[in-house]
Amino acid sequence: MRTFKLFWKVSLLLLVTLLSGCEDDGHGLIYAFMAAGAAVGAKNALDDDDDADTSSSSDTSSPTAREDFEIHSVREYDGFSDDLLTAGLGQNGLTGVVPTAADQVSPTAAEIRKATVVNQYQARQDMRVTSGYGTLYGPAVPTQFATTPSSEGKVDGKEYLAFADDGSGRKNVTMMVQVPNRFDRNNPCIVAAPSPGSRGVYGAIGTVGEWGLKNRCAVAYTDKGAGNGVHDLNTDTVNLIDGTRAIATDIGKKAHFRADGTSQMDLAAYNSTYPFRIAQKQAHSQQNPEADWGKNVLDTIDFAFYVLNLEENFGEVSTLTESNTLVIASGVSSGGAAALRAAEQDSRGLIDGVVVAAPMINPRDDAEGVTIKQGYKTFYYQSYRKPLFDVMSYYNVYQPCASANTTMGMPGRCAALRRMGWLSSNTLTEQVAEAQKRLNDYGTLETTNVIAHNYESSFVYSSFANLYANAYGRFSVVDNLCGYSYAGSDGNEPPSAKGLSDLAEDFQTGNGIPPSSGTSLINNSGNEGKGINFRNSVDVNGNLEGYLEGALCLRRLATGTTGVTINTGTDLTGTESEHYQRVQDGIAEVLASGDLRGKPAMIVHGRDDALAHVNFSSRAYYGLNQKTKTNSQLVYIEVTNANHFDGLNQQYGVNTQIPLHYYLSQALDRMYDHLKNAADLPKSQVIRTAPSARLEKRLPKIDSEETEETCSITFSNDVLTIPDC
């Protein structure tokens, strides 16, 4: 039984304003403001009339919100026509064609939500029956402790959507709390589910959200301030919190994201010089959202407690607090990093346990270092203690060449690297091999090489390197960092305007990290300065080389030199040196301490992850955690034949990789059992999967007979030993 003190009380109602004049299903959007504790007045005034709420679900009045929470809407879902988990489509319906709006230029909030849920499921899960969807995992598949409420996995209940902001309207972190009608008030639990990547607030619904709702928990989502906010400068339109679009100047602080210019160039001047460009929230908010990811998760847990204690929920019969409610923070990719950072920062004891998969975590640089041994290979401190931006920008230079013998690479990149002296080999075959060797010598595993070709085809390295450089350096869209921008494009033509229907789909289909949803990454120097899709950039000899100049510029922001590694080239000067320092300052703001305050935690990571490579993320974090002074209860599970993106396995027809999501769900079961029933957590281990085996034999359980003693992960005398298995 936990003994944490009550940290907060349900606040007093100051103001509930029901805005009228909205043409919707009869219910206007609800905004509620109040000061926490003593009544000190409403924090923000209502600016404008709300846009139409076209949800087909009913809205109900929410009495109050904490001072820095702005509730947008509360909707009830019956579990038949629509529901919390599958948007009314059920387990089988989620695998089909994504529903389209009746008016694709002006979709309703309800239509946007339905399409968004389906897209997020399909992006994060391998939804092939042959991979286990519908039998081993999925909305209607029972967990260890829960049966599903219906044969199709539909979940009835309430959904609260809100912004958290500092009053400026520039952060507007989206939060959502789903309360299933089957919520167990006698055994209350909250699952905090930060979104992966730059996805919107529904980004974790098909992974962590699914487990939480099936286990009768409330699920508290956050987009971490990095959600898929799109400001189209051509039309000056932006997203609202529900994905609908409006003129930026008309909605003011209610914009999900609205770009700003700089003192040197305002947006109007920029739009005139670089027409049809697009700003994305994580890249161009100038907030470095990652610095606040831990706080965002803690805020959304606060918001969940607030929602649960409303009189319309359970406030009339009991008070739910951190002392009587089980709270698990869980996420995938950058959502996993956010959950870990939240636990590190949780001085109030909100979080009881942490379960993450493939976390894109940046461990703090520990001068003493930890040695990693895997089989006959040893990775020393210098080879793996690198921020993820360092690794992404390095891959962005060499992976197009390493993939050049496949349909996914660029032989022209190899030739350009050779011409500039960054490769020494002469034939294409030799250049491909040299590029691959440089990548693996950087500290990555050879088992990631094949899957990295698919990542290159999906522009993973180019998109992440550009976005994170902008985010860390707090650059504006008008800065055109390293000559890049975002815009719609068609082949070799200059950027063109995105159509209104394409803009309307951005919230539903985009991942917040272009190239995505019809928004391309642009090389501004192409087409005589008008711009060209970066992939179609050619060198002086006409070879397609993918804008190597831009990739090398981003790389310099990692090294601080004119070389591709720290020990090559000369130190940067002038503006480049300033930009390098800005990026490094941003990275310093996001480094994790490894100190989880003694909380039980589990990390599940695929060994073949070619984005958040295990040496630089989970292995390094686990080693750092083991050296902290607090009692460590961190378990590390490394899964063979698994990578970062289950959805890409289906997209590329990959049958040699298994779904990591299956093990995330298992780990959540184990953590829940530990926290509720004092069951032992598993030991750190490698799980040896068998992708070619029959489905029932393909995915051994954690601690199964297939996981032999020889697959145990150990840490001793600053050496982390990972068996090959």
Q: Dump pLDDT digits (tens) for 4-19.
A: 233 333 333 332 333 3
Is 333 one of the annotated active-site residues of the chain?
yes
> Is the separation of the CB atoms in 278 and 503 below 8 Å?
no
Pair (574, 606) in one structural domain: no
* Exposure of 489 in the CB half-sphere (CA atoms within 13 A): 29
Distance CA(708)–CA(712), nearest Å, equals 8
Pair (135, 211) in one structural domain: yes
Q: Is the pLDDT of residue 257 over 50?
A: yes
Mean pLDDT across the chain: 89
> Is the separation of the CB atoms in 230 and 200 below 8 Å?
no
Residues in Cβ contact with 437 at an 8 Å cutoff, skipping those fewer than 6 apart:
none
pLDDT band at 55 (very low <50, low <70, confident <90, very high): very low
Pair (105, 149) in one structural domain: yes
Domain holding 87, by residue range, is 15-229+288-323
Closest by CA position to 108, among listed 243, 250, 257, 252: 243
Residues in Cβ contact with 640 at an 8 Å cutoff, skipping those fewer than 6 apart:
447, 607, 608, 686, 687, 688, 689, 725
The answer as to whether 237 is a domain residue is no
pTM of this structure: 0.91
Pair (580, 634) in one structural domain: no
Pair (667, 584) in one structural domain: no
Q: Is the pLDDT of residue 224 over 50?
A: yes
The answer as to whether 533 is a domain residue is yes
Pair (89, 55) in one structural domain: yes
Q: Is the pLDDT of residue 23 over 50?
A: no
Number of domains comprising the chain: 3
Please provide residue 371's backbone torsions phi and psi, each rounded to the nearest 5 degrees: -90, 135
The answer as to whether 534 is a domain residue is yes
Closest by CA position to 403, among listed 442, 450, 461: 450
Q: Is the pLDDT of residue 3 over 50?
A: no
Pair (536, 608) in one structural domain: no
Pair (212, 295) in one structural domain: yes
The string over 237-267, giving b where at least 16 C-beta atoms fall within 10 Å of a residue's C-beta and e elsewhere, is: bbbbbbbbbbebeebebbbbbbbebeeebeb
Pair (52, 126) in one structural domain: yes
Average pLDDT over residues 378-386: 87
Distance CA(204)–CA(328), nearest Å, equals 14
The answer as to whether 342 is a domain residue is no
Q: Which residues pair with 232 in a beta bridge?
A: 237, 278
Note the pLDDT tens digit of each residue in 260-311: 999 999 999 999 999 999 999 999 999 999 999 999 999 999 999 999 999 9
| Domain final position from 564, 588, 612 | 588
Pair (559, 612) in one structural domain: no
What confidence score (pLDDT) does residue 650 get? Answer: 97
Active-site position among 330, 333, 485, 516 = 333
Pair (440, 532) in one structural domain: yes
Residue 144 is classified by DSSP as S
| Token pair belonging to 636 | 């590390």
Distance CA(317)–CA(541), nearest Å, equals 75
Residue 608 is classified by DSSP as T
The answer as to whether 265 is a domain residue is no
Note the pLDDT tens digit of each residue in 136-149: 999 999 989 987 76
The answer as to whether 329 is a domain residue is no
The answer as to whether 366 is a domain residue is no
The answer as to whether 249 is a domain residue is no
Please provide residue 108's backbone torsions phi and psi, each rounded to the nearest 5 degrees: -80, 165
| Token pair belonging to 415 | 């030739």
Pair (379, 428) in one structural domain: no
Closest by CA position to 615, among listed 342, 373, 364, 336: 373
Give the count of beta carbons closer than 10 Å to the beta carbon of residue 172.
Answer: 25
Q: 515 preceded by cis ω (within 30°)?
A: yes
